[in-house]
Amino acid sequence: MKKILAESTLIIIFSILIGCMINLVRPDGIPFVGDWRNVSETAKKSDMQTISIDTAYSLWSTHQAVFVDARTDSDFATGRIPGAINIPRGNEDMYFGILRGSAGYDDTIVVYCSSETCDDSFVVAEYLRRKNYKAVNLYEGGIVKWQEKGYPLEK
Amino acid sequence: MAGERVSTGKMSVINKVIYWFLRLFLGGLFIYASIHKITDPLGFAKIVHNFQLSPWYMINFTAVVMPYVELICGLFLILGIFRLGALFTIEFLLGFFTVLIAINIARGLDFTCGCFSNSTEKTFLDIPLITLLRDIVLFLMGLYLFKLEKPYFEKNYKKDERLDTTMPDCHS
Query: Is the same domain home to A17 and A51?
Result: no
pLDDT at residue B10, rounded to an integer: 67
pLDDT at residue B40, rounded to an integer: 87
DSSP category for residue A80: B
Q: Are A7 and B112 an interchain contact pair (Cβ–Cβ within 8 Å)? A: no
Q: Is the ipTM of this complex over 0.95?
A: no
pLDDT at residue A140, rounded to an integer: 85
User: Which residues 70-129 of A have a C-beta within 8 angstroms of B?
Assistant: 90-94, 119, 123, 126-127, 129
Query: Is the same domain home to A86 and A14?
Result: no
CA proximity to A130, closest of B1, B120, B87, B136: B120
Q: Compute the half-sphere exposure of residue A64: CA atoms within 13 Å on the CB side of its CA.
A: 9
Higher pLDDT, A128 or B124: A128
Query: Is the same domain home to A97 and A23?
Result: no
Q: Nearest CA to CA, how far is A137 from chain B (Å)?
A: 17
pLDDT at residue B72, rounded to an integer: 97
Q: Is the pLDDT of residue A2 over 90?
A: no
Query: Is the same domain home to A9 and A60?
Result: no
B-chain CB neighbours of A124 within 8 Å are none
Query: Is the same domain home to A44 and A69?
Result: yes
**Is there a contact between A18 and B75 (Cβ–Cβ < 8 Å)?**
no
Q: CA-CA distance, A95 to A97, in Å (whole number)?
A: 6
CATH number at residue A56: 3.40.250.10
- The number of distinct structural domains making up chain A is 2
pLDDT at residue B154, rounded to an integer: 61
CA proximity to B65, closest of A12, A37, A53: A12
Query: Is the same domain home to A18 and A70?
Result: no
Q: Is residue A111 part of a domain?
A: yes
Give me the amino acid identity at A96.
F
Q: What three-state secondary structure class fits A128?
A: helix
Taking residues A92-104, report their average pLDDT: 87
pLDDT averaged over chain A? 89
Higher pLDDT, A45 or B135: B135
Query: Is the same domain home to A89 and A74?
Result: yes
Highest mean pLDDT among A26-35, A108-117, B4-13, B75-84: B75-84
Query: Is the same domain home to A70 and A137?
Result: yes
Q: Is the pLDDT of residue A35 over 90?
A: no
Strand-pair category, A85-86 with A65-69: parallel
Domain ranges of chain B: 13-171
Domain housing A137: 39-148
Q: Which pTM was predicted?
A: 0.68
CA distances from A149 to A35, A86, A115 (A): 27, 22, 13
Query: Is the same domain home to A83 and A9?
Result: no
**Is there a contact between A115 and A145 (Cβ–Cβ < 8 Å)?**
yes
User: Which residues 55-74 of A have a C-beta within 8 angstroms of B?
Assistant: none
Higher pLDDT, A105 or A45: A105
Query: Is the same domain home to A87 and A115?
Result: yes
Q: Is residue A99 part of a domain?
A: yes
**Is there a contact between A70 and A88 (Cβ–Cβ < 8 Å)?**
yes
CB atoms within 10 A of CB B159: 10
Give me the amino acid identity at B27.
G
Q: CA-CA distance, B79 to A105, in Å (whole number)?
A: 50
Q: Is residue A141 part of a domain?
A: yes
Taking residues A137-154, report their average pLDDT: 91
Q: Is residue A19 part of a domain?
A: yes
- CB burial of B118-128 (b: ≥16 within 10 Å; e: otherwise) equals bebebeeebeb
Mean pLDDT of residues grouped by 10 in chain B (172 residues)? 54 86 96 93 85 87 96 96 94 94 81 72 72 94 89 58 43 38
Q: Is residue A154 part of a domain?
A: no
Query: Is the same domain home to A114 and A58?
Result: yes
Query: Is the same domain home to A71 and A120?
Result: yes
Indicate the pLDDT class of residue A123, thresholds 50, 70 and 90.
Answer: confident
Q: Which residue on chain A is closest to B112 by alpha carbon? A: A130
pLDDT at residue B8, rounded to an integer: 57
CB atoms within 10 A of CB A101: 8
Rg (C-alpha) for chain B, rounded Å, is 19
Residue A50 pairs in a beta bridge with A138
Q: Is residue A155 part of a domain?
A: no
Q: Is B120 on the interface with A (CB under 8 A)?
A: yes
pLDDT at residue A66, rounded to an integer: 95
Q: Nearest CA to CA, how far is A21 from chain B (Å)?
A: 10
A-chain CB neighbours of B109 within 8 Å are 90, 92
Q: Are A30 and B41 an interchain contact pair (Cβ–Cβ within 8 Å)? A: yes
Facing residue for A34 by CB, picked from B59, B76, B110: B59
Q: Is residue A100 part of a domain?
A: yes
Percent of all residues in chain A with a pLDDT value above 90, rounded to a whole number: 50
Q: Nearest CA to CA, how far is B153 from chain A (Å)?
A: 9
Q: Is residue A153 part of a domain?
A: no
